[in-house]
Amino acid sequence: MTDFKIQTEQFADIRILRYQVPGFENLSFDKKRLVYFLSQAALWGRDIIYDQNYKFNLLIRHNLENIYKTYQGNRESETFLAFLVYLKRFWFSNGIHHHYSMDKFFPSCSEEDFKDLLLNSNISDYKLFKDKSESVFIDEFAKLIFDKNEDAKRVSLNTEEDLLVQSACNFYENVSQQEAEEFYKNQKKTDSKKPISLGLNSKLIKENGNILELTYKIDGHYSAAIGKMVFYLEKAVPFAENKEQQKALQSLIDFYKSGDLNDFDNYSLAWLEDTESTVDLIHGFIETYGDPLGRKATFESLVSIRDEESTKRAETISNNAIWFEQNSTTSIKHKKEKINGVTAKAIFAVMESGDCSPATPIGVNLPNADWIRAEHGSKSVSISNIIDAYDLASKNSGVIEEFAYNELEITLDKTYGNIASKLHVDLHEIIGHGSGKLENGIAEPAEMLKNYASTIEEARADLVALYFALDQKLIELNLMPDEKVGICEYNSFIRSSLLTQLVRVEFGKNIEESHMRNRQLIAKWVFEKGKNDNVIERIKENGKTYFLIHDYYKLSSLFGMLLKEVQRIKSAGDYNAAKNLVENYGVKVEKDLHKEVLERWEKLHIAPYAGFVNPHYSPVFEGYTMVDIEIDYPEDFSQQMLIYSKNYSSLI
Ligand SMILES: [Zn+2]
């Protein structure tokens, strides 16, 4: 597919891309059916994330889509076009808050014009607020969309005030931060060696003064969606490739039926055991970035098939995991004595849903429970077809030419950029997240480091990848042809952390998102500590700021020093040190530099975020018998979103 169109459209700060699934056609019919049923199970969870992100999101989605489908006026008017952009942004973020900054965003038309759109569409098809009339609806609905103060942030990490009161996400209702923290503290069994991830799959509400936990399960919260998911998971079971995979699917089904977090751990263990299958599935309540208290998980699903060639690279890294652990800069007492089965592989995404879609991760390392990782290891994947799509889309975008200081840096990037970023992702996921251990008696980071836990964890994983990027060992293991790959990685890490990632922050705001905080934290720290030796020079030429690395080896040892400290913070649960590091280096943005970067970026006309349209799978029938599954690659993002809302709605 040489003429495959990667980018299909761009609006606001978003580009829509497509990924290909190499090798799907050559899968056996059984594996294709497995992929198909798992994809259905993935899509049936889509409604859940809308509701988790904000309690009115599903109602808003229904009503916005009603305007899209039934508006009678001029569909070329400025107002309607502004509405279209807003609706696409809404789909992209799975709700009214920006997927990355977490801030509420707004249509660029006026509230009055928006009301006209509402009135000139099919009024009887709107979903109304409880017990409210249609006329009240128009005013209140427009206000919900346009009010700048109401539910302005999905996840707030501002510790000055109650995190739950400030956050619009839908994991807690009428519950204060203190009440939520106490609720879980009282449940905590401190002696347990196998602590379940308390609160992972539930919503906390207060009713008549009592705090109740609504568990996500069949016959519980989100039952309608989970029931559909289970229906398709059960259809997939007969096509499991082996016993391990069958057991994993079955325990996932059991978990959705019981909602018991011990069952979730059993599922995670069974999933870890399945290392041989071509088809794999991540499905459930996994990541906790959407909860300001870092406890409750959003729904996500990723269906994949193995990328055999890149898997060889990942396996080489994981087979040498203990070498990396022993040779990292962390202190002996924070190192693992042995590394339990970090299985690493590269995959091609086949279907993404929930928190993985339309914006997607490029690598995943699971399960998250620290005790399982310590005792049983983890499974780490990098998503080759997504990384390749980004790479293809970014070639010739002009970003490197604008922000790299010299020709050499640009040439290096063009030659080694792809392998450097794949290697970074592999080291980050396989070695980084899998390394290190907690000191005896120290509780999990979510408990100890609270709102700084995610940033510290990401910093740790990035620092491992950065520290080893120049190591001869990588050449010895045939992972990179020479050190230029590492040099290229250092250039691009410093460039993106100190300059280009700022385009993702609105002018005047601080950095909120954990991965971005982590990157700035690292880059600012090494810049400051290397200042006397001129390790990294800050240059300003013709009004443009650049960061030029002079001493790559010194930089590597600075990464090592910070790695040691960040590992100590996690292992010892040192909240104050985490707070100081993150607040002093990771959060604040230099105003003048921010302004300059935004201006330089604007001239390039590239949206800073990207997300993907999924492939579409359709069964082929002969008579009543399914004989094949076909793949095609839709181009129209809006059509895909409408089809998903029509075919996979269960909660509204
Ligand atoms: Zn990570």
Return the amino acid letter for 3: D
287 Cα–ligand 1 center, Å: 11
| Whether residue 1 has pLDDT greater than 70 | no
Q: Which residue has the tokens 């443009």?
A: 544
Sign of CA dihedral 82, 87, 92, 97: positive
Residues 68, 74, 76, 77: is their CA dihedral positive or negative? negative
Report the 10 Å Cβ neighbour count for 436.
24
478, 586: one domain: yes
- Same domain, yes or no, for 53 and 130? yes
In a domain, residue 567? The reply is yes
Long-range contacts of 5-8 (CB under 8 A, 24+ apart): 5/635, 6/389, 6/392, 6/393, 7/393, 8/613, 8/635, 8/636, 8/637
Predicted TM-score (pTM) of this structure: 0.81
* 506 CA to centre of ligand 1 in angstroms: 24
- Same structural domain for residues 582 and 549? yes
Average pLDDT over every residue of 9-17: 96
Residues 302-350 pLDDT 10s: 999 999 888 999 899 989 999 999 999 999 999 999 876 678 889 999 9
Query: Has residue 284 been placed in a domain?
Result: no
Distance 445 CA to ligand 1 centre (A): 15
CA 647, 42, 461, 450 torsion-angle sign: positive
Q: How far apart are CA 218 and CA 260, in angstroms?
A: 11
Cα-to-centroid distance, 455 and ligand 1 (Å): 9
412, 481: one domain: yes
Alpha carbon of 363 to ligand 1 centroid (Å): 8
Judge if the upstream peptide bond of residue 619 is cis by omega within 30 degrees of 0.
no
Same structural domain, 508 and 642: no
91 alpha carbon – ligand 1 mean position (Å): 25
pLDDT of residue 8 exceeding 80, the answer is yes
Question: For residue 400, what are the domain limits?
Answer: 395-608
Q: Kindly list the distances between the CA atom of residue 145 and the CA atoms of 77, 107, 217, in Å, as whole numbers in the listed order.
A: 20, 8, 31
Mean pLDDT of 261-288: 96
Residues 83 and 50 in one domain: yes
Residue 238 lies in a domain: no
Q: How far is the CA of 346 from the centre of ligand 1 (A)?
A: 15
Q: Between the CA of residue 466 and those of 71, 423, 586, what are the distances in Å?
A: 52, 10, 17
CA of 329 to the centre of ligand 1 (A): 19
Q: Are residues 642 and 574 in the same domain?
A: no
| Per-residue pLDDT, 365 | 87
Q: How far apart are CA 285 and CA 297, in angstroms?
A: 5
Region 93-100: mean pLDDT is: 97
Query: Cα of 361 to ligand 1 centre, how many Å?
Result: 9
Please tell me the predicted confidence (pLDDT) of residue 392.
83
Any domain includes 66: yes
Is 652 a domain residue? no
The alpha carbon of 214 and the centre of ligand 1 are apart by a number of angstroms equal to 29
Q: Are residues 419 and 537 in the same domain?
A: yes
Q: Which residues contact 576 (CB under 8 A, 6 or more apart)?
A: none
**Which percentage of the chain shows pLDDT scores above 70?**
99
Mapping DSSP onto H, E and C, the string for 289-305 reads CCCCCCCCCCEEEEEEE
| C-alpha dihedral, 513 to 195 to 303 to 53, nearest 10° | -40
Distance 429 CA to ligand 1 centre (A): 6
Per-residue model confidence (pLDDT) at position 395: 74
- CA–centroid distance, 279 to ligand 1, in Å, is 23
Pick from 230-234, 287-291, 523-527, 562-566: least confident: 287-291
Contact in structure between 203 and 214 (CB atoms under 8 Å): yes
Can you tell me the mean pLDDT for 523-540?
98
Q: How far is the CA of 68 from the centre of ligand 1 (A)?
A: 37
Same domain, 419 and 502: yes
pLDDT digits (tens, 9 = 90+) for 117-168: 999 999 989 988 777 788 889 999 999 999 999 999 999 988 889 999 999 9
Rg of the chain in Å (alpha carbons)? 24
Span from the CA of 470 to the centroid of ligand 1 (angstroms)? 20
Residue 305 lies in a domain: no
CA of 402 to the centre of ligand 1 (A): 28
Is 212 among the domain residues?
Answer: no
CA 124 to centroid of ligand 1, rounded, Å: 46
Residue among 90, 70, 72 at smallest CA distance from 82:
90
Distance (Å) from CA 428 to ligand 1 centroid:
6
Distance from the CA of 408 to the center of ligand 1, in angstroms? 29
- Shared-domain flag, residues 509 and 643: no
Is 255 inside any structural domain? no
Question: Tokens 């006209």 map to which residue?
Answer: 116
Weakest mean pLDDT among 85-94, 98-107, 370-379, 574-583 = 370-379
604 and 627 inside one domain: no
Q: Supply φ then ψ for residue 25, to 5 degrees.
A: -60, -30
Helix (H/G/I), strand (E/B), else coil: 401 = helix
Distance 29 CA to ligand 1 centre (A): 34
Distance, CA 454 to ligand 1 centroid (Å)? 9
Between the CA of 433 and the centroid of ligand 1 the distance, in Å, is 7
Report DSSP letters for 25-67, one per residue: GGS-HHHHHHHHHHHHHHHTTHHHHHHHH-TTHHHHHHHHHHH
Distance from Cα 382 to the centre of ligand 1, integer Å: 11
Compute the distance from residue 564 Cα to the ligand 1 centre, in Å. Answer: 17
Question: Distance from the CA of 417 to the center of ligand 1, in angstroms?
Answer: 19
Task: Give distance in angstroms: CA of 514 to centre of ligand 1.
Answer: 10
Angle subtended by helix axes 484-498 and 552-572, to nearest 10 = 60
Q: Answer whether residue 258 shows pLDDT above 90.
A: yes
Residues 6+ apart with CB under 8 A from 431: 317, 321, 324, 325, 342, 464, 465, 468
How is residue 452 annotated by DSSP?
G
Give the whole-angstrom CA distance, residue 194 versus residue 17: 41
Distances in whole angstroms, Cα of residue 250 to Cα of each of 169, 201, 301: 31, 18, 16
What does the pLDDT read at residue 610? 95
Ligand 1 center to 468 CA (angstroms): 16
Cα of 383 vs centre of ligand 1, distance in Å, is: 13
- The whole-number pLDDT of residue 103 equals 96
Predicted confidence at residue 132, as pLDDT, reads: 79
Burial 291-324 (b: 16+ CB within 10 A, else e): bbbbbbbbbbbbbbbbbeebbebbebbbebbebb
Per-residue pLDDT reduced to its tens digit, 355-395: 999 999 998 989 999 889 888 988 888 899 998 898 888 77
Q: How far is the CA of 456 from the centre of ligand 1 (A)?
A: 10
DSSP classification of residue 279: E
Do 449 and 552 have their domain in common? yes
- % of the chain surpassing 90 pLDDT: 85
Q: Distance from the CA of 342 to the center of ligand 1, in angstroms?
A: 15
Q: Is the pLDDT confidence value at 191 over 70? A: no
Q: What are 383-427's pLDDT values in tens digits? A: 999 988 988 887 778 999 999 999 999 999 989 998 999 999 999
β partners of residue 207: 210
Residue 604: C-alpha distances to residues 399, 597, 600, 607 (Å): 7, 11, 7, 9
Give how many domains the chain has, as a whole number: 2
- Look at 65-69, 443-447, 484-488 and tell me which has the smallest mean pLDDT: 443-447
239 confidence band (pLDDT: 50, 70, 90): very high
How close is the Cα of 369 to the center of ligand 1, in Å? Answer: 14
Write out pLDDT tens, residues 593-611.
999 999 999 999 888 899 9
Question: Is the confidence at residue 2, as pLDDT, over 60?
Answer: no
User: How far is the centre of ligand 1, averaged over its atoms, from the C-alpha of 379 (Å)?
Assistant: 13
Max Cα separation, the chain?
A: 76
Distance 11 CA to ligand 1 centre (A): 28
Task: Give the distance (Å) from ligand 1 centre to CA of residue 599.
Answer: 30
